[in-house]
Amino acid sequence: MQDQTQAGPDALSTYFFQIADAAQTQTSDPSYALFSIIRQVMAAATQVLDSVAGTCQSPVPECASGCSFCCHSRIHVMPLEAIVICSYVHKYFSPGEMQSLKTRIRSNLTYTRGRSLVQRVAVKDKTPCVFLDHHACSIYGQRPFICRTWNSLSRQDCETAFISGNQNAEIPCLSAPNYVYTLARDVVQSVCETMHLETGRFELVSAMDRCLGMKDAPSAWTGGCTVFGRSGGESLEDTEKKGEKGGM
Ligand code: SF4
């Protein structure tokens, strides 16, 4: 691997595109290729950041298991991220865990659907991320790019901002994770656009509602269908009302 720690944005993007190209040529299965692309680009971004951390004396974030203030924020994902998570929960969540997840999705949407940001902030303690389980991320290895960008040099500042409801609070943080993971995410998004797949940014809860409400969202999306942005369509609630299993 070339040393990417000194690379500018163009060189870093080019590097991530090379990783994506290489991942794509490793298989003729387009679905598998997409999963491989996002995983390998994420891994490359993590490797770049580890290299940076090993070459400079930057402070260490105070983020740790059990601290979950940032997991009460609104999370946006691109379709491929939602599809990866959907495939993961279908494969690894037990029936009980899946049922709990669906309950959390419905509860979250009850509080947030159609509400303004101010209204949502007022109920943020009731609307943690649907994947937060006892203050830990239940999909940690599959968490979206946005969750990887967040870090904090002051747990106390996060707590103060959370309690006060100040969504504009300045939390001291390292800029490198935001910079590197955002570039990596943009490269993956660009690859999806090149493949004429649905792209965009969608709220994680709504995206999961849509995915789990369909029989086989991963196949539909990788087959070129519009899954997340279509108007109408089935939600988790619609599917369960009909007594279907929503792809379980
Ligand atoms: S996906 Fe995981 S890390 Fe991201 S907000 Fe949800 S619980 Fe937190």
Indicate left, alpha or beta for 200 from its phi (over 0: left) and psi (-120 to 50: alpha). left
Q: Which residue has the higher pLDDT, 19 or 27?
A: 19
| 137 Cβ closer than 6 Å to some ligand 1 atom | yes
- Over residues 109-134, the mean pLDDT reads 91
| 195 Cβ closer than 6 Å to some ligand 1 atom | no
44-91 pLDDT tens trace: 999 999 998 878 788 999 999 889 999 999 899 999 999 999 999 999
Judged against a pLDDT cut of 90, whether residue 3 lies above it is answered with no
- Global pTM reads 0.89
Domains of the chain by residue range: 61-241
216-240 pLDDT tens trace: 999 999 999 999 986 655 555 555 5
| 143 Cβ closer than 6 Å to some ligand 1 atom | yes
Cα 128 to ligand 1 centroid, rounded to whole Å: 9
Cα separation, 138 vs 130, whole angstroms: 9
Spatial contact of 185 and 167, defined as CB atoms under 8 Å apart:
no
Helices vs. strands in the chain: H and E counts, helices first: 11, 4
Which residues, including other chains, have CB under 8 Å from residue 42's CB and lie 6 or more apart? 145, 148, 181, 184
Ligand 1 pocket test: pick from 143, 146, 204 the residue with the most ligand atoms within 8 Å of its Cβ: 143
Ligand 1 pocket test: pick from 71, 93, 124, 151 the residue with the most ligand atoms within 8 Å of its Cβ: 71
C-alpha torsion sign, points 130, 136, 141, 145: positive
**In sequence order, what DSSP letters do the residues of 29-78 get, joined into one string?**
-HHHHHHHHHHHHHHHHHHHHHHHHHHS-PPPP---TT--GGGGS--EE-
**Which residue do the tokens 């995206």 mark?**
207
| 72 Cβ closer than 6 Å to some ligand 1 atom | no
| 82 Cβ closer than 6 Å to some ligand 1 atom | no
Cα 134 to ligand 1 centroid, rounded to whole Å: 12
167-222 pLDDT tens trace: 789 999 999 999 999 999 999 999 999 999 999 999 999 999 999 999 999 999 99
124-179 pLDDT tens trace: 889 999 999 998 999 999 999 999 999 999 999 999 999 998 878 999 999 999 99
Structure tokens at 27: 């298989």
Per-chain mean pLDDT for the chain:
89
Nearest in space to 206 (alpha carbons), one of 226, 229, 182: 229
Residues in the chain: 248
- Over residues 25-35, the mean pLDDT reads 88
Structure tokens at 195: 């493949």
Predicted local confidence at residue 247, as pLDDT:
31
Predicted local confidence at residue 156, as pLDDT:
96
98-107 pLDDT tens trace: 999 999 999 9
Predicted local confidence at residue 5, as pLDDT:
54
**Which residue do the tokens 């049922």 mark?**
99
Spatial contact of 17 and 193, defined as CB atoms under 8 Å apart:
no
Q: What are the two backbone dihedrals, phi and then psi, of residue 93, each rounded to the nearest 5 degrees?
A: -80, 140
Q: Which residue has the higher pLDDT, 138 or 116?
A: 138
Cα 248 to ligand 1 centroid, rounded to whole Å: 22
